[in-house]
Structure 1
Amino acid sequence: GEIFRSPDPNGKSLDMSKLRNTSLTDYSLTIDGLYAHTWYDIRIRVRVPNADREELWSNYTDFQFQTRPKIPDRPPRVDIGSFYVNSHNDIVLYWEQLPLEEQNGNNSHYVVSEVRNEHNATIDCSPSEISLIKAKFQNVPPGDLTFTIKSANSQGQSKEGSEIHVPARGKRFPPPQDLKKYSIDSKYKLKWAPPATRQDELVSYTVFWCESKTNYPSECDGPMSFRTVSSSQHEYELNNTKGFNIALSANSRDSSSGLIWSMCTASKSDEIGKLNPVWVSKMDATYMEIQWRLECMDTPIVVGYTLTYCPITAPKNLTCKPGTEIVKNITGTTQYNITGLTPYTTYKTTIAMFSKTRTGVPSDPLVNTTLEAAPTPPRNIILRKVTNTSVTITWDPPERMNGFLKNYIVWCNSSNFQVFDGIKENKTLEYKIEKLQTYSYYDIVVVACTISCSNKSETINVRTEMGVPDQVTTIAKVRYDDYTLFSWDPPRHVGGHLDYYEVSVKVTETGNRTINRTILHNGTKCWINRVCEKNWVEIELLLSAVNIKESPHERKIAGSAEREVLNASDGPRALSFHNDDLPSAIRSYPSCYYESYEHYQLLKWRNADEHSVILKSTSIPLFNNNCGLSTSSPLLYIFIIFIGLIGMVTAVLFLYKKCKTMSDIKVVLPDALNDINKDSKCPKEMIDGGVLRNVQIHRGEMRVQQDEQERSLLRNHMESSSSSTTSSTANVDNQSQCESHDGPPEEMMDSIEHQEDEQTSIESHDIPTQDVTFDVLQPEKLEDIQPQIEPQTHQVALCPGVNQYVHFARPSQGYTQLAALKVPIKTPMATETDETGISGYVTRKQLADFGQRM
């Protein structure tokens, strides 16, 4: 009989020596060495004894069965170097997967059952990723670690486990060098070099490989396999047409380097292509960093690189300038720093790979311009012209611009001036520095600027020519009896040697005759007698500082090139009087008015050079005296003050009389309005210019006295005009009304209602002394009155007037429009406006005239 294991198509003969018959028709056979959880196909046939031909065998009788599952018999196979550690201390463990027949059940997988540290203590460390060939742990703590891996299925884990020891980083064995993987005739060959150190401890190498569908190293799509080779072997060949990723570990007795993956697969031929890509990663004014990336297939065969660079002739001409091409051989790196370049210069760069036997074609040229830098200093600084306030210089452009020249900066001591004109032309430039101080020293340098400025040029030291000194600003005066001693400080900026001071004297005499003279002084003090001479009207002294700009001509008087310095012991300075006449404090100083010995010495020195230039400062007043005013000034001042006091007193008296006269003027009112102020029937405190101010007045507190004469006149007038009456108007009389702003009292409103109900004649009767109230006046039609503004609330109190007629006064603003008041009071009224009557807006003047006519 034969037995077939699924899915193996090749059968295996059964050992029929173990066949037992239990009866004439029943047989049994024990089959050993089967795999758990595996399907088997058993085929049995028979033949007669001694039948040796194939056709004498019967047909097969077959049947299938599956063995029972169980836990795996063993853990996965590992090696001392079955681990990989990256720079983040992530650990990847690799093992060899169990073959199918050894999985012993469904759901075959692998478990990292235990992790122990260097102290053999179990730590909690679970894999972030686990598959059939590897397990990954992230951010593992440093130190020695030991991992236990077991095989497992649906029945459980294997009893034994495989251990992988991962040494700490410092304890790992050094890795092998120069891994290169070649693909040769459908075979893979791995070559390497021994570790750089500890070669005497090297025991073996382990080659790992796995199927991969990508070129990314450490990626495996199939089972992991490995094989250990001796330490003397440095290459390994795989006979397989499939794609493989291959790794290598170097092992000692107790440590390993772990897996080192071969990054690229190269062809065995020596053909080298063109390097691509190449780029500039960094660039400055004087250096350029070039980087490139080597294709994976070229890595095993490339030995080094040839770098060529040079400045080009023109932007559109990539030819190197003659004699400027530089060639560098580079190995062991994929970047290079080119130094010593010229700023703001365009360079061409190429790189070519070379192997042991040949050199590849150069890469596409890189054309880059270095950055700008400071130029070299300007050259040939020359002083062209110097005046007392300006300096003119010229210079040549820098030898190397090193960029786009933006401007020059001319430094003159601490001041600087930017120059833009002429910078585009490569020619000599000229600049005039103006507004300088006279007779002053200046240090001048020039710098050129692109993106930054150059070092300074050579320094020019120059002094401006002599100029006009500043005017004297500080003068002190000290009196000694009739004399005044003047002293002054030198000008703030002398602008030269400050050869002497000049006092200009102007004397005005009687008859408007003027005397002018100039006195020269070597010092800063002089005196003057304040007492004027007999015929002097005015004397004025002006002070100025003087510089003498000498000419190059010869002087007329020998020995006069140097000024003689005079001392106090040289003799009297004034030539027209004796020093004994002066106060002792001023005897050693010259006169401001009279020529001294010092004056003549200075004059002699100045006149020795006929072509010298006198530079005199602005003059300032030193002394001024009005001789006529000086003798009579006290009396004149007293006279002026006296006249002023008299004028002030006169003005005060005039104003007083004027105000007194104006205060005696009285106000005269018309006779018809005099009763407003004279009526004693209204309390005095209620009357204020004819208007009652007391608001708490009731009708019952007053008695209306009738004036028979006025009542008769009014009746006659009203009867003559009654025939023309067509509407009710308010009768306006020369009444005295008292107004306040508190509203009309109720007594007045009641009185109006009472008069309306009586319907009596127009004759006026005595009004009894009782409280009179008034109703609020209402127009007959609401639409007849359209108020323009909100009426003010008034309280009206009544006092008897001259004719004893009392009317209600409607609140108003200034004037009262009588036609708008329709008060149903039957009293005498003027119905028409004629020559004797009034209507509409009325003023006090109209009321007065109307009263006189009545």
Structure 2
Amino acid sequence: MNRIVFVVLICWVSCVTSKNRLENAAALGWIIPTEPIYREVNDSFSLQCTLNMRSIEARWSNSSNLMFFQGDVPVPREQVKILNDSTIELVVENAEPHMNFAYTCKVNDTKGVGIRSVYIGHKPREVRDFKCRAPLWDKHMECTFTPDPNSMAATYELVFYFKPVIQNFTCKLETDNETNLTKCIINVDTGYRNVNEKYYFVLTASNHLGTLSQRFIINHFDVVIPHAPIGCVIEDVTSNSAVLKWSKWYKYDGFSRNFICEVKLLSIFDNNVWRTVSNEGLQLNHRVYTLPLRNLPYAATPYDVRIRMRTNSTETDSDLWSNHTSCLFDTLPRKPDMPPEVAIGAFENSNEHHLFIYWRELDDWQHNARSGFHYNITLIDQHGRIVEHLNATGGMIDRHHLVDMNYTFVIKSANPEGMSEQASKVFVPARRHRLDKPSIDKLLSDSGKFTLSWKPPSRIHSPITSYTVFWCNTTSNSPNDCNGSINFTSVAADQTTFVLSDVGSTINFAVAANAGRVSSGMVWAACTATHKTDIGKLKTIWISEMDSSQIHLKWKTECVDVAHVGYMIYYCSISSPRTLGCKEPEMKINVTDKTLDHFLLENLHPYVTYKIEIAMYSDTHIGPRSVPLVNTTMEAAPSPPRNLVTERVTNNSISLRWEPPAHINGGKMFYWVFYNGQFLKHDVEEPSTNVTFTLDNLDAFTEYNITVTAETVKPSNSTEPVHARTLVGNPLVIGQPSTNSSNDSKLTIGWNSPSKPSGCVEFYELMVKANQIIVYQQRKTECQLREPICQNRDSSKYEFMVRAVNVDVIGPIKTAFEELSCSDRWTELNNMWPELKRFVAHAECGTSDAIAMQSNGYSWLNELPPNIRLHYGPWSEPLAHWCSMESKNTLAIFFLVGIAIASGVAMCSYSYVKVKHVLQVKVIIPDGLNDITGSGKPSGFGAVIGPAGIIFTEHHRVDHIMTSGSTKEASYSKEQNQCLLPSSSSSGGSIADLSSHEPRSSADYCSNSGCCEDDSTSFYDQEAERQDLHGYSDDTTESIENSHEAHQGSTSSRSAANDDLGASFGRTNIGTMNLPIMPVTPMEGKGSQNRSSSAMPITVTSGYVPAPVVNTVKQPISSNGYLQIGALNNGGMMAPLDTMQKSYNPKMAAAAPISGYVTHKQLSDYGQHLK
């Protein structure tokens, strides 16, 4: 409760305070009169402002501090006078209307005493534009007027009635903001009656100064706006007439007034000016109007017809017309009404080859056809014979190489409807009858008026009767070229000057001298005249020489009388010859010597298209420019490529980017990229675009010096070189290691650095392969084995291989790491990777920690730091080392070898006894094989038959000479000699190169073929044992000779030879060889045992005999398919017939023996088949 009382008390105090403030403000003073003032224009009024001297705010103020303001502007001081200490008076005489009607009295120009409104205006005046309109005469009528402008606004009231007066109707007035008219719409609800003819209106206007009433009588029928005409139709159309029909609205049947009709026509030749058609002949039949359209001027022309109507009344305002109704129609075509107009001398025969005939072309509206208009020209010679008929669409024809005689050209207008009835004729006299030509000496123009002057012909054969002056608009350089029709006029014979006004801006002129119907023909002015200048256009300009930076201009001034004093040359580079817009600011050169006819433009850009114009100038102004001459300078070397940078570098590539040259100076451009003495060409399709290019197949960790040049017809200067080093990569292979021994019999293994290290080669890996594999990490290129080899007899053979290893880092420090030198890289790596110090050795092979870790089957390189990457090179070719026997076992070795030799000789003798009968077996060859085996001699394929036996060639060398009694001994002796070569190693070992890429020494051959193995059983011993096991018979009648030929010219010859030796030492995979054999040769009878046998060893491990090599069918190999005596007795030894037929070739039979492998059983079976 107390809270409510407190709030009410606060509100009351606030109200009292506000009231006191208002009283104090009001008490500041007052204005008399206290009501607004209304006065007419030019009347007087006065205002008095009194200061309340009792007011606290008025203290220390008096009437001198008071002033009247109109808005914020003080009234003129002379209109204010002081009445006493507290009052001033404003007196205004001849008052005028003012937009700001409020007057304010202020103290000290700031505090307001009071405001009074003063309105200056006049009494209501008459409305002068009151009118009414009744659109369509069926719904409403609208009346409008413009209120009288008055600063003291008046209020209006409109009332209407009919006679006899039955009721007054009040019309509500509205203001149209768009037209500022006050309007009243009278509809059926508010008193509209369409049958009433007259409306009586009373308009009352009132304001503070007075009231005015006006009376208006509106004839309703006079202000009806008709409906638009209906159903516009065109009938009976001809080439120059038609009949127009339309209808009025059916509701006007009961309308008591007639309508006035207006018809307008417009064609494409009327320049958008409508032509009103006469209403003569207009008829109204019920509702239909008919109007004949006569004398239409244009045939074959589309017309637009517009019809409108209004009520026939005294009201003539344009707003009483109805809307238009429109319809279209085309007049029919007809043949032309007239031929083209010609003039005497309208021909030009500038030389003996060309004759030009001119005439004034008909306007398009005179063609009388939409299309197909042309001119028909008949050429008639002096004998009245028709030479030819010609057609032309323009106002000129050109005839070539006419015989010199009088000619008449008959010209008619023609279209698809026919030719004009009349014809125009141009007479061209023979040259001997023509007048001499006049000479044009001046062509001037000033303020749009052209003046042409000429001189009469120098020789006159006949009196001149007139001159014909020709002119036409032109847009080209040619003085006799016309853009549109030619025009002409006749000039009196005593007149040699012609003035032309109000024509086109660029004109060509010509003159002809006439004597009756004989004429000189036309002479064209050499210069083209233009408005507002007496300087003609320079027409002949050309380029005499040009290179990549200069253009040599020449020109010819043809109007020698032109008052020019120099030339202005304008030129600029352009983007396109079509637009001719300058790419750069236009340059200009002032040539002040009027006698010059050439100029050299210098310092131009290569391969740039320039626009060149020349204008002559006089003392007052510059003449028109010549037609632009456009040409392109020659190509030149471009400027250097810009901003060459590297974008991405790998261990085998460098990606480059550069910007094109600032000036390409040519059309097609390409680039050369130079790097470390090498270069590559790079073609581009868009010369103006930036280029990215990648150098591939680079060496890793190599510094490259890169430059780029651009080339068009010549190369540019090089860019500034860019230096880039490829990243670390895999080193290349290292050459085969070497070795030497020290005093304590410890081997020292050495090797060379890789030819391309692809990095700093932080360390090498040495692999020692014996009964186990050990890999050492070495810092240097050699190391000494920690222990002697070949002493503990753990392995008889050692192999040494080496490879290089590069170390790289990844991650944030990669960029900084790449900038370091190799020594600094090693130091930084030791800091990041402490294991390098522990496991990378320097002098001896491997560190103790590394050897101990490998003995446990673990490598310290298996777990690398996360930012370390290793790049391994390939392993080198192995260096082999064999351990020899101790000296105390040497005698035992020789003893075993002797036993092996003796055993071999015994086995060979035994085998000979077992097979000698088989060797005497006579083989009968079928007739089909006689030509194949016609010669039993070998043909140079690795074997030669001598008187004592066969000499075998091995690896294309004659290594073995075998007789019937020493075959085995000779072969074995050679192998023994190779195996027993002394070792070069003091440690008792033997070092050999195991590479397959280099020729091998005797020791290599011996080591790889296994001739030092303990197995000394020869092929002959094994063969003899096989024959005993299979029960071969000793009863032989003939011997079989076989020869072994080695394959020539093949990379497999060495491996084949090695495989042969391997077969002698127990290897059995010889079946894949394809060695030729000698043909089977028949021997003599059984008594041939005393002869020295020529049987030779067979280098196969199973019982096969050779067959023709050309047979591509592989015969099955059977382990027991040996030749048996029983099989020989049953038939001849011969290959199967189908095999022989497939493999037979006469050239092969003559050139090479039969080769390949078949079994004796296969030959026997084939012999049985032949029986």
TM, length-normalised to structure 1? 0.37
Q: Give the number of the structure with larger relative contact order, counting CA–CA contacts within 8 Å between residues 6 or more apart.
A: 1
TM, length-normalised to structure 2? 0.27
